[in-house]
Structures are given as C-alpha cells and as structure tokens.
Chains A and B, each alone.
Chain A
Amino acid sequence: MTKILNLRTARDLPRWAISLGTTLYNKTGTWRNFRPVYENKIPPCNHACPANEKIQGYLDLIIQSAAGRTSASLQKKYTQAWFLLTEDNPFPAVCGRVCFHPCETACNRGFYDESLAIHNIERFIGDYGLSKKLKLKTKKLKKRKKIAIIGGGPAGLSAAYFLAQNGYRPTIFEADKQLGGLLASGIPAYRLPKNILQQEINAIIRLGVEVKTNVRIGRDKLLENILNNHDAVFIATGAHQERTLNITGEDAIGVIPALKFLSDLNTGRKIKLGQKVAVIGGGNAAMDAARSILRLGKEPIVIYRRTKNEMPAILDEINDAEEEKIKFIFLAAPVKIITMNNKIVALECVKMKLGKPDASGRRTPLPVKDSNFKIKVDNVIPAIGEQPDFSFLTAGIKTTDRGIQTDEFGITNIPGIFAAGDCVTGPRTVVEAIGAGKKAADALIKYLQKGKAVPEAEQDEKVVQFEQLNQNYFEPTPRLWPEKLNIQKRNKGFKEVYQPYSGKEVETESKRCFSCGVCNRCDNCFVFCPDMAVLKKNSYYEYNYDYCKGCGICVLECPRYAISLIEEKR
C-alpha cells in the first residue's frame, strides 16, 4: 500500500492512466519546517494555588465521571479526584471552606464569563473523601530518621503529611492542647465546623505521626534540646502575638484581643460580652470576630482606618458580613478607651483620610485634625494583626522584620533547620502555609537524603494566558453559586453558612473548565487535520510525522493551547 510502484516498460502499464496504488508512498512529512507536538502547559489555577494542586486534573476527573452513567463509575472518578487533590493538599474539606481561592482569581474563564467555582468543588471533593473515609496515601516507614515539627498548625501538619508520604514518621510538638493552629482556635465554626477539621487532622496523624501537645518550646523544652535529639527540625510556630493598639485604656477589662476571643469561643469557654462590641481592624480575624459576636446575639461595630477597598480580609468574608448587616465605620481609628468604674463605656476615635501609598501599596491613613468622635461600646476587640514570637529561637537562626529568614524553599541559615508558614511570612493564609509546609518538607527530605538541602531547579513555567486560548469553542455558561443559609438561620447559632454542591452541580460547574494547557480530548486536532496525520489512540492523540506537513492548524484550533509548534530539525 505504501510502496512505490515499479512500472518500467509499456507492458507494465495499464491500458491508460488508471491508478494502481495509493499516495501513502508519498511521505509528505518531508515538507515540514515546523512540527506540532503535544505539550501540556501549566493551567493558571494550578500555578496560582500556593499548594500547586492539580486543579485542572481533578476537574477533568469530575467531568469524566459525568461520562460514566453508573453510580460505580461516578464514585470511581470522585475517588480518583480526591486522591489527585490530596497529592498536594491533605486539607481539601478545610480549604474548600476557608481558602481565599487565588485559583479562581487566576482562572482564565474569568476573562470569558465567570471564573470556575473551584473553591466549592474542592469542598465537595474533600467532603466526599471524608464521607467515604478515604485513606491518605503513604509509604511504609523506611526511614528511621528523627524529625521534629514545632507547631501543629496547617504548615506543620502539611509538612508532617508530606514527610509521612515519603516514609518518615515525624513528631509534632504543639504548645496548645489541640492541633490545628488557627484553624482550630481562630476560625469560627460557621466557616469551618470543628468535626470536619478534626477528621482531616486525624487522617494525617493516622499515618504514624507522633503528637505531643501541651509542649511549648522555649518553656517546656529548649530548642537546643530538640535540635540535638533530632536529625532535622521544622519550625512552624505561626504568628500568634497580637499587636496592641497602644492607646489609653487598652489594659481595661473588656478589651479582648481577637485571637483570644476566637480561641475561647472555639474551645467553648464562656465569654463575658456586653451588648455593643467594637472590633478594630479589617482583616479576617476582625471579620471572624464581628460575625461571631453577631451570632452570640450581640451588636458588633467594625472600625477600620482605611476603606472597604483596602481591607485585607477575604472578599467573601467582607460581603457576607455586609449581608449580615454588620455595621462598619470606615476611615476611623481608635485613640482612647474610656472607662468608668473599671468598665468600658465608650471608645473615642478620630476620622482618617487616605494619603500616599505605604510599603504595602495601600494609601497611608492619616488622622484628620479635630475630627474626634465617641461611640458607646461595652467591649473592644482589637484585631489589627499578629506577628511571630521569636522568644524561643536560639541557635543562631536568623530572622527578618517579618519572621524567620528562609529562602523560598524553607531553608534557614542553619543546616537541618527549616521553617515555613506565618512564622516566616507573617500572617498569611491557610493554603500558603500548606504549600510552604510542602516545599519545606521536600527540602528537608533532600537534606536527609543528600546531606544538604538542594533547592529544586527553577523550571520555565509556561502558564497559559487567556489570549492563548481559542475561545471559539467555548459557550458562555453562567457560574453556579452555592446556596447560603438565610440570615435568620445564620444568626441562630454557628451553623455553616455555605451549603454544599450536589453531584449534578459539581458536574455542571466542572464542565465549565477550559482545561487551559492540558489536552482534554476534544478531538479538534483530529477533526481539522487536512492530512489525516492525527491518529486517535485510546485516550490520547499521536502525530503521524510521516505525513504531517506542519501547517499548524491543529495548534491554532486547539482550544486550550496544549499543542506547541517547534522548529523541525533537519
């Protein structure tokens, strides 16, 4: 069929010009100057996720689950999705509730109609895993190295998970009586139910992680002690030292720092609160405090020195707080807490105006002269930020003004000592702590295996931009928003506000994924090749380079930029 015909004499020829063979003899691949190659690139969601979750991957698994109509195949794909996700993040049920979802901000669909509700889908997968009691993957204990993790918050637990995955069994030293860090003590139950958190923590501990709670390094044990008794140490102590207002009356009874307030709340301790409670600050702690106060039946007033646009809290939180009709006073700062008979009666504030931008890029708030005003309050809850506690740090570990000094992989200046999370960066988000914990765990493992921590080589990340997609194959589809508890129901306790997706909703929403940079078998390359040089295999495609003329149509018509054109080397 592909042979070249040998017609030498008149006798070999047919009576007239009738074909005897096919054009398969003609390897038109020799015409090429460029050749197309299937080359998956980085989806922006994966790239933006601080834990580098394979978001596109598990969305694709959910889409595939839609193809199989049986319940068993559905479950199979959900399970696969859970395992794919937990390769990079052991806390999907947690993050699916509290994460600030930078993936959604980066999602290319956001430039088309509305970004994917990845946050909600992650929650679905996490909850699914918990409901099916799926077990995290791990390797058998093979490495008898002793590793200490100081701090049982998200960074520490994340590191513990990734170490356990690689056959290590670290020990967590936690100062508090429960694990979880701010997840347990800081975030209220209407955002993160405590049993959900506990289940995901337990799943990690069950891998063989040793836990020592109520052990504060620096008080109960010295850091030197830990360093001497372990082969490597990972510091993940977070940032819990609350900043003070530095105003008169701050020492009055009734001034409760935000994290203490939230911690007491989460541990079930009784809190004495008057009716009107001022919350100072614009971050997540302030929002958590204000909304919790509301649920305790009290009246929160949020006072913030800049405007809503500059508030560092997650936008969802701010919007939900507004929805719950919490009162905000913007462009105001407290100057004095007024007490009478040792009780707080009022808070004196001054109006602020925005000046030039400061180091964070936000405009500096400046007090407006003679604009003081008083509001009646019974309590004041400062929530103006935290910083790490360095008091226990010895052994020559360098610090910066933000936290412990490390490179981007968590390596400190002392070999064998690693650090990640809020204790390095200052207060940040849960997922960043998880991602940092993973990176540090990797560096730590390399240190144990090779004697020194070798940072990973920088990869040229080809993150797919929206302009690189071919939009002609997409249809506008509105984003599915999850149901929320109505306001009345919300205020009657600490029930979860956001309701879960149904299976159908998860499918429908996942199908909106553009699968940026990763082939999802849409067949376009096969459909549009004029030379039949794209061969369909079972679940992928292959180029027949014998015939591909390098026209490049497949490259342009791939909706997701998963094909690259490279120079043909001759």
Chain B
Amino acid sequence: MMKKARKNRSAFSGKQVISGNHAVSYGVMLARAQVISAYPITPQTQIVEMLSELCASGQLKAKFIKVESEHSAMAACIGASITGARTFTATSSQGLALMHELIHWAANARLPIVLADVNRAMGPGWSIWTDQNDSLSQRDTGWLQFYCESNQEVIDTIIQAFKIAETVYLPVMVVLDAFFLSHTSEPVEIPPVKLVDKYLPSFKPDIKMDIKSSHAFGGLTTPEYNFELKYKMQMAMEESIKVAKKVDRDFKKLFGRGYGVIEPYRCQDAEIILVTSATITSTSREVIDDLRRRNQKIGLLKIRMFRPFPAREVVAVLKNTGKVAVIDRNISYGAGGIFCQEIKSAFGNQTNRPVIFNFITGLGGRDVTPQTIMEIVNYTKKNKYPKEPIIWIGLKK
C-alpha cells in the first residue's frame, strides 16, 4: 500500500500547473496530515474536494471528517490535535467567522493546527471575491498568519506551517487570495515526497490525551494562574519569529526556495517604499520594475508573516526611507488599514521614521491593477503628507 501511494505521489512531483486551492491540497498531502475536517465554502471547495479524493484513493492516509459546519470543523480539529494527530482544515470568510470562538480555543489550547484561509470578503451582501478582512479579524487570537503571493508560496508555506506550528505549539493560518490564487493555475514545483518527509518528521507531541497518564485539559483557570498562561503564549509568539525564519532557511537549503518573514524588493536607496501583501505584491513588483527602469527610487516591502508582526524587521527596512505607502486590501472600520496600523505602531516612539500613507483599495474583490498601484505611487510622490488618514484608491466617488 505504502509503495503504491508513494508512486502516485511522485507522479505529482516536478513542475505542475495547478490552482492555489490544489496547491494547498498537495501541500497538506505532502505534509501527511492525519485528520482533516472541513466544511465547503466558495472559494475553498476545491481544497477539500481534492483532499477527499486523495483520502478516498488512499494516497493520503488520513481521516476526513465531513462535518456539518465550520465551527464543528475546527472543533474536530481541536479534538484530533489534542489526541496526537496532525490536523488541517480550510475555510473562508463566513466560515472562518463562524469558527471564531474556536480559533481562540485552538490557540489557547496550544494546538499546532494548520488552517488555510482563502481570503474572501465578509457579507452581507454576499461576496465570493477577495479582501483580507476575514483573516485579519482573527489577528488577536494567537494564531500565526502568513500571506502568500503565489501558488508556489502556498504549497511551500503549508509545509513550513506544520513545522513551525509543531515547534512553538501555536496554530498557523496560511492565507491566499480568493480567485487570484485559489482558482488561478500557476506553474508550481511540487516538493519531492522524500525531501518533505526528511524536512517534516511525523507529529510527536509531548502533551496529548493519553489513557496512560490522565490529565484534565483546559479546566477552570482562576486569575491566579491565567495571567502567566497568557504571558507564556505571547512568549511563544515572540519566539516564533525566530522559528519561522529558521524553518524558512532550512526549507531553502533543502528545496531551493525561501521567502523570509518579509521580503524587501529593490528598497536599497528607495525614497518611497510600497508595503503590500498577497497578490497585490506580484502586481506591485511589475510596477516597481517599471518605475526603476525610469530611474524612480521606489521600492517594495512584502509582508509575508503578519502574525506575529515582524516589527523589528519592518522598521529596519522602512526607517531610512522618506515615505511609506501601505496598501491595505482590508479595513478596520473606525480606524484604518490594518497593515498600516501595525506598521505605524511598529515605529512606536521612534523619531527616525518615514511619513506613512494609508491606502485602501480592492475591498470586496475590486481589481488591483498596475494602474491602481501607479495611482498610489503618484499620490505619494505628489503629497508631502497624506491629506487624509485613509486614502481610498479606485473608489467611485
């Protein structure tokens, strides 16, 4: 049985043209997840459909629990994870919001669950297109968050996610844009099975439910102890930046690809640096290249790891530039773009800081084109300071 599976798995190795959703599926298969529990929601459905197939055919030796809601999906993952299985789920938008109570639970229970979120706008009105509010609404829960720019990055980050999660014992969310990644096929180098097995050994948790040693998990915790437990969670979060970097370095050594927690692109002498995440990054790269060809000193900072927020790393890149244009495909109503807030607060009390412009665009799946980026660049060039706290780009006023 094992030989056959591997044979089929190796049929997937090498370069394949696959959608972002399938990249997730194959990543999960390579990572040898043991229990998968998910509920379908557009635009995530292909992830679970493919995983169902892989489980049914025996290529992926996992239990697939076809739960009746996302809340139950996360609940089942929690149950499976504490029992010692490597667990995975995927969802989007309304489904992720439904899971919210248990998103907290999974993190507080220090369970290394991996979740793939296909960024989709929250309703009502019903939307199946991308923006980042769904995942960013979970930013305070204690989950790590990685925003992927390409399907290659998706499959690689899924594998890395399990490794990071099982080191720091915090759950990890891997985020990809709806349709732009989820349903768009791109060429992807499938990591070879043998290497993945070498990179990511089987899950052997030190704490699990076991009849040999009985414990109660998660009982009534009074103020006498709770503060310290939460402190420990923050400490684990802070530790995970280091861990994420190392995991990425090790990945690069083995597979030849690395991403870092942030990626500065042509920022050396930049006077303006755009800050982006997810697919806006790839659009922006083209614009930056074009601007650089025209001798514009404009760079790009991609933020890949949003939680924990790599404040030091971000500040190190941005502190010497004059202006920073943060492009948020999200909004915290009543405040502003969320990435922008994080960056502003990363600078905190520092005096040596750029002027930060908060651009919001692409909400509800509005297309972000090179023109959109140019508009952002021009505005930033023209204005010494942002004229408004939020600059809406592409809005039909």
B109 at the interface (CB under 8 A from A): yes
A7, B218: Cβ atoms closer than 8 Å = no
Contact with A along B213-239 (1 / 0, CB 8 A): 001111101000100110111000000
Given contact pairs A16-B218, A17-B219, A10 touches B108 in the complex (Cβ within 8 A): no
A18, B207: Cβ atoms closer than 8 Å = yes
- Picked from A7, A9, A18, the residue with its CB within 8 Å of the CB of B215 is A18
Inter-chain CB contacts under 8 Å: number: 39
A15 at the interface (CB under 8 A from B): yes
A293 and B169 alpha carbons, distance in the complex (Å): 103
Write out the residue numbers on chain A whose beta carbons fall within 8 Å of the beta carbon of B232. 10, 13, 15-16
B110 at the interface (CB under 8 A from A): yes
A15, B110: Cβ atoms closer than 8 Å = yes
Q: Which of A15-31 contact B (CB under 8 A)?
A: 15-20
B207, A14: Cβ atoms closer than 8 Å = yes
A18, B217: Cβ atoms closer than 8 Å = yes
Q: Which of B345-359 contact A (CB under 8 A)?
A: none
B231, A16: Cβ atoms closer than 8 Å = no
What is the CB-to-nearest-CB distance from B233 to chain A, in angstroms, rounded to a whole number? 8
Write out the residue numbers on chain B whose beta carbons fall within 8 Å of the beta carbon of A15. 110, 169, 207, 232
Write out the residue numbers on chain B whose beta carbons fall within 8 Å of the beta carbon of A20. 215
Name B216's closest neighbour in chain A (CB-CB).
Answer: A19
A10 and B169 alpha carbons, distance in the complex (Å): 17
B207, A17: Cβ atoms closer than 8 Å = no
Name B108's closest neighbour in chain A (CB-CB).
Answer: A16
- Sort chain B's interface into a size bin: 10 to 19
Write out the residue numbers on chain B whose beta carbons fall within 8 Å of the beta carbon of A14. 207
A20 and B233 alpha carbons, distance in the complex (Å): 19
What is the CB-to-nearest-CB distance from A556 to chain B, in angstroms, rounded to a whole number? 31
A9, B218: Cβ atoms closer than 8 Å = no
Name A13's closest neighbour in chain B (CB-CB).
Answer: B228
A16, B228: Cβ atoms closer than 8 Å = no
What is the CB-to-nearest-CB distance from B102 to chain A, in angstroms, rounded to a whole number? 15
A16, B109: Cβ atoms closer than 8 Å = yes
What is the CB-to-nearest-CB distance from A232 to chain B, in angstroms, rounded to a whole number? 72
A18, B216: Cβ atoms closer than 8 Å = yes
B228, A17: Cβ atoms closer than 8 Å = no
- Picked from B169, B215, B231, B233, the residue with its CB within 8 Å of the CB of A19 is B215
A282 and B218 alpha carbons, distance in the complex (Å): 82
A189 and B229 alpha carbons, distance in the complex (Å): 91
B169, A17: Cβ atoms closer than 8 Å = no
Q: Which of B122-179 contact A (CB under 8 A)?
A: 169
What is the CB-to-nearest-CB distance from A26 to chain B, in angstroms, rounded to a whole number? 13
What is the CB-to-nearest-CB distance from B222 to chain A, in angstroms, rounded to a whole number? 10
Write out the residue numbers on chain A whose beta carbons fall within 8 Å of the beta carbon of B110. 15-16
What is the CB-to-nearest-CB distance from B183 to chain A, in angstroms, rounded to a whole number? 38
What is the CB-to-nearest-CB distance from A120 to chain B, in angstroms, rounded to a whole number? 56
What is the CB-to-nearest-CB distance from B31 to chain A, in angstroms, rounded to a whole number? 23
Write out the residue numbers on chain B whose beta carbons fall within 8 Å of the beta carbon of A18. 207, 215-218
B229, A13: Cβ atoms closer than 8 Å = yes
Write out the residue numbers on chain A whose beta carbons fall within 8 Å of the beta carbon of B217. 16-19
Write out the residue numbers on chain A whose beta carbons fall within 8 Å of the beta carbon of B229. 10, 13, 16-17
What is the CB-to-nearest-CB distance from B381 to chain A, in angstroms, rounded to a whole number? 49
B231, A17: Cβ atoms closer than 8 Å = no
Write out the residue numbers on chain B whose beta carbons fall within 8 Å of the beta carbon of A13. 225, 228-229, 232
A7, B109: Cβ atoms closer than 8 Å = no
Write out the residue numbers on chain B whose beta carbons fall within 8 Å of the beta carbon of A19. 215-217, 219
Name B227's closest neighbour in chain A (CB-CB).
Answer: A10
Name A15's closest neighbour in chain B (CB-CB).
Answer: B110
Name A16's closest neighbour in chain B (CB-CB).
Answer: B110
What is the CB-to-nearest-CB distance from B52 to chain A, in angstroms, rounded to a whole number? 32
A20 and B225 alpha carbons, distance in the complex (Å): 13
Name A8's closest neighbour in chain B (CB-CB).
Answer: B228
Name B235's closest neighbour in chain A (CB-CB).
Answer: A10
Can you spell out 6 A-B residue pairs with CB atoms less than 8 angstroms apart? A10-B229, A13-B232, A16-B108, A16-B232, A17-B219, A17-B225
Task: List the 10 shortest-distance A-B pairs measured between CB atoms, nearest first.
Answer: A10-B228, A19-B216, A16-B110, A17-B221, A19-B215, A18-B215, A17-B218, A15-B110, A13-B228, A18-B217
